[in-house]
Structure 1
Amino acid sequence: MHAPNPRHAPNTNADIISLDRQHVFHSWSQQGQLNPMAIAGAEGCRMWDFEGRQYLDFSSQLVNTNIGHQNPKVIAAIKAQAETLVTVAPAHANQARGEAAKRILARAPAGFSKVFFTNAGADANENAIRMARSFTGRDKILSAYRSYHGNTGAAIVATGDPRRVPNEFARGHAHFFNPYLYRSDFWASHEEEECQRALQHLRRVIECEGPEAIAAILLETIPGTAGILIPPQGYLDGVRALADEFGILLIFDEVMAGFGRTGSWFAFDLFNVKPDLITFAKGVNSGYVPAGGVIVSEAISHYFDDHMFYGGLTYSGHPLAMAAIVATLDTMEAHNIVDNAATIGNGVLATGLQHISQKHAIVGETRGVGVFHALELVEDRQTRTPLAADKMNQLKASLISKGLLPFIAANRIHVVPPCIVTEAEVQEGLSLIDQALGEIA
């Protein structure tokens, strides 16, 4: 592990937190209530503060550092690109951008031909929506209530969670309930029933909103922030069939689930269903330099050969971000990192979480795939009442005090370590979760 640079005057955590609170405005926060952690450095699956305390990162930050922290090959690629061409307008042809697109398309299904680069997942979804509306000549976008698609204009309105409500300024959005058997909105008792009823519900929403008015269904392949909700067998096939029946495009949001997180290059690979547009960000270069994009199918790409695409960004395909993508994808392939996510995630991680679930009555359900899992915590298993917020706050504080950085959302611990996580690190992290749950219970 690397210590803070000795050439600089030593900082304390308090120094850095004070600097932050004086000058930085944080997202999704009441500013006066904040007490952020101070992070000095990181490597692999570990992070440390300015006083040397280490943490095992089981959050991958915001579920994006799929290749781990400070991968030397990715850092070297960013440095080399900075020395060659640090920035260039998106109208120019650039080798790093072309190579990044080539590598992304090599992992996409057959029938995809172009990549439109954005700066993040939110504007990837914005531009996928824009493409769908232009291509179909329709306006409405359907998306799920249990979803998160980003914080920009149309993306936040497409989002289903309550953060949408104060931000509903974009037009033409409607929502539906996606399957979630543990808290079924359809009074289902098993997975097949949940699937059938969810699809019938979606059909009725399409019919009531007017099929001729709907441009696209935007769906997280596996909803992440909403709870890592693995769709039941047959659901995504059914959504694809409904989209085809009514001439609606299907957009899969792979921002969180893509590029190794599920133990496959894309989450939809697990279901053998192909969308019309794919949005991505986060794991494509582990967030080392902000990047996102839309993978465009041939039919839609060809449409824009002689139709104007009314969209663009100053930093679309920024060379530093593109170099990071190339190095990340090459390194992930060379070191079988996606396979590691599948082997470790579906092996020792899944088994360990099942053991924790059986041991602690506070765990209502564990679910997931690859290094993309969640423990849903409840006050009572019979009523399934979500664990109270104050207890979740205690749990988060306990985990951090033990040296684990968790991803906490509502009444859930999202267990989402980097794709490079080792069996020993998984055992360490699960042990800390086990201890903290025992204390809360």
Structure 2
Amino acid sequence: MTTEPMTSDEMIQTCLEHTMFSWTATGKVSPLPIARAEGVYMYTPEGKRILDFNSQLMCVNVGHGHPKVIAAMKQAAEGLTYVFPGAATEPRARLAKRLAELCPGDIDTFFFTLSGAESNENAIKAARLFTGRFKILSSYRSYHGATNACMQLTGDPRRIHNEPGSPGFVHVMPPWPYDYSFGDDEEQITAQHLRYLEETIMYEGPETIAAMFVETVTGTNGILPPPKGWLQGLRALLDRYGILMVCDEVMCGWGRTGKLFAVEHYDVVPDILTMAKGLTSSYVPLGAMGVRRKIAEHFREHVFWGGLTYNAHAYACAVALAAIDVLVGEGMVENAAKQGAVMREEMDRLIAKHPSAREGRCIGLFGMMDVQKNAAGESIAPYNGTHPAMGRLAQFFRDEGLFTFVRWGSFMCNPPLCITEEQLREGFAIIDRGLDITDEVYEG
């Protein structure tokens, strides 16, 4: 039976009638109709071109429809696609060996999942089983996934609507406060925060805390690289109390920051490293929890009480190998570092030109810009709130063919790592015109 391709309106209406969407009431969502995608561009059924300035959810790192990955997918589909998780397969073996070669330090053993949330869920289990402790620390400005335990691990407001949840999670202030007026002496900020954190550990009882989860570079809650010396200081602090460090690199890993893994910027090896998204560039679902040798050795003798039907899915592992080969072999990690300098230049240009542009942060091609409402630097939108001008800005981006996320008083700048300088400047040219909207409501 042949079926005629849907128009945009048909696609939207059918999806609204028969599916639910993430983080929204279905009656209030306006989904973007996409028929195909190639490189850094997406296309509607009618052929409108849209520049993907967020790699979808910071995940299509090698770009859309890369021919080498597609070819590998076709080849893998003709071979072994699925066997039960207790089987040994060549894709499982080859991917695990490749990851052992690429991951920092002695992280050389992996538990495969289907998502970042599942990777973090299993990291929670592993930390508790390994240490015999129960409590988990994480930051208020964090996102770690939407599954049950990960929703409580998450610090941002999406957690609130899923409470009460699993017990044992303790949230702490992040090193960077939400209000920027804390000063810019990063070494002082680091020293003060680590002192506060040690006091929190004392109050909670260090013998009760299994691990602290951190996004190596905070993602949706600000694109916040840690202040100078903080991650190294955190490593030493947690070691002092026998608390594991878990680095969530679901967003910031796989080249996004201009290094293969963001921890490489800080010369730190976590006890557990979680990943997904860029692992396959999201061509198929796959995540992984990587553990250091001491933890792997523990679970050679003790049961790891975790399991998934799709653990080490043969087809997904084969696709991951192809995506990694493209990412590394075509120099996309290096391109992220190179184009990150262009992004920094463009952000600085917009801040100098537009009074409403408050700040731009980027590390590699992991970026965000904040919008202010006055010369005092107040955000145009309150925490977990919005402003009509930000809604108009989001609509302008959509109308002008720029896909990104506008959240509260900020918007994302996270294009695929294959983007060229010309394409990157194309995106910022649209942003330049859009900021005229927020300039109009700026209270000079």
Which category describes the TM-score, using the shorter chain as reference length? Answer: over 0.9
Partner in structure 1 of residue 216 of structure 2? 221
Alpha-carbon deviation of 1:409?
2.2
Cα distance in 2 between the residues matched to 1:402 and 1:203: 48
Partner in structure 2 of residue 395 of structure 1? 393
| Alignment counterpart, residue 139 of structure 1, candidates 134, 142, 148 | 134
Partner in structure 1 of residue 232 of structure 2? 237
Cα distance in 1 between the residues matched to 2:80 and 2:272: 30
Cα distance in 2 between the residues matched to 1:382 and 1:44: 40
Alpha-carbon deviation of 1:181?
5.5
Name the stretch that deviates more: 77-86 or 412-421: 77-86
Task: Encode CA deviations 1:80-135: one digit per residue, 9 max, x unaligned.
Answer: 11111121111100111111112222111221221100110001001011000001
| Alignment counterpart, residue 64 of structure 2, candidates 50, 69, 75 | 69
| Alignment counterpart, residue 361 of structure 2, candidates 342, 367, 372 | 367
Q: Is the 8 A contact 1:44 1:70 kept in 2?
A: yes
Name the stretch that deviates more: 97-106 or 13-22: 97-106
Aligned ranges 1:125-274 → 2 under 5 Å: 125-168=120-163, 169-180=165-176, 183-184=179-180, 187-274=182-269
Task: Encode CA deviations 1:207-266: one digit per residue, 9 max, x unaligned.
Answer: 111100000000000010101011111000111011001010000000000001001100
Cα distance in 2 between the residues matched to 1:75 and 1:236: 38
What residue identity is the alignment partner of 1:45? V
Alignment partner of 2:259: what SS?
coil
Partner in structure 2 of residue 426 of structure 1? 424
Cα distance in 1 between the residues matched to 2:336 and 2:316: 23
> 1:378 aligned to 2:376?
no
Q: Is the 8 A contact 2:99 2:108 kept in 1?
A: no
Name the stretch that deviates more: 188-197 or 323-332: 188-197
Cα distance in 1 between the residues matched to 2:360 and 2:177: 12
Task: Encode CA deviations 1:47-77: one digit per residue, 9 max, x unaligned.
Answer: 0101110000001000100000011111111
Taking every aligned residue pair, what percent have the same amino acid on both sides? 41
What residue identity is the alignment partner of 1:28? W
> 1:102 aligned to 2:97?
yes
Task: Encode CA deviations 1:294-353: one digit per residue, 9 max, x unaligned.
Answer: 0110000000111011001000121221111100111112111100111111x2111111
Q: Is the 8 A contact 1:103 1:329 kept in 2?
A: no
Cα distance in 2 between the residues matched to 1:357 and 1:231: 22
Partner in structure 2 of residue 4 of structure 1? none
Cα distance in 1 between the residues matched to 2:221 and 2:379: 17
Partner in structure 2 of residue 78 of structure 1? 73
Name the stretch that deviates more: 325-334 or 293-302: 325-334
> 1:287 aligned to 2:270?
no
What residue identity is the alignment partner of 2:46? E
Cα distance in 1 between the residues matched to 2:99 and 2:356: 41
Cα distance in 1 between the residues matched to 2:30 and 2:119: 31
> 1:40 aligned to 2:35?
yes
Q: Is the 8 A contact 2:116 2:144 kept in 1?
A: yes
Alpha-carbon deviation of 1:188?
4.0
Cα distance in 1 between the residues matched to 2:55 and 2:205: 41
Cα distance in 2 between the residues matched to 1:438 and 1:24: 36
Partner in structure 1 of residue 442 of structure 2? none
Report the number of matched residues: 433
What residue identity is the alignment partner of 2:11? I
Q: Is the 8 A contact 1:211 1:246 kept in 2?
A: yes
Per the alignment, do residues 110 and 189 of structure 1 end up closer, same or farther by CA in structure 2, a change over 3 Å counting? closer
Q: Which runs of no fewer than 5 residues in structure 2 stay unpaired?
A: 440-444
Partner in structure 2 of residue 19 of structure 1? 14
Per the alignment, do residues 103 and 389 of structure 1 end up closer, same or farther by CA in structure 2, a change over 3 Å counting? farther
Alignment partner of 1:105: what SS?
helix
Cα distance in 2 between the residues matched to 1:255 and 1:383: 31
Alpha-carbon deviation of 1:440?
3.0
Alignment partner of 2:50: what SS?
strand
Alignment partner of 1:364: what SS?
strand
Name the stretch that deviates more: 281-290 or 378-387: 378-387
Alpha-carbon deviation of 1:385?
2.9
Alignment partner of 1:50: what SS?
coil
Structure 1 vs Structure 2 CA RMSD: 1.3
Cα distance in 1 between the residues matched to 2:168 and 2:183: 30
Partner in structure 2 of residue 350 of structure 1? 344
Cα distance in 1 between the residues matched to 2:293 and 2:375: 48
Alpha-carbon deviation of 1:439?
3.1
> 1:334 aligned to 2:332?
no
Q: Is the 8 A contact 2:117 2:145 kept in 1?
A: yes
Q: Is the 8 A contact 2:69 2:322 kept in 1?
A: yes
Alpha-carbon deviation of 1:424?
0.6
Per the alignment, do residues 188 and 210 of structure 1 end up closer, same or farther by CA in structure 2, a change over 3 Å counting? farther
Cα distance in 2 between the residues matched to 1:182 and 1:191: 15
TM-score (norm 1): 0.96
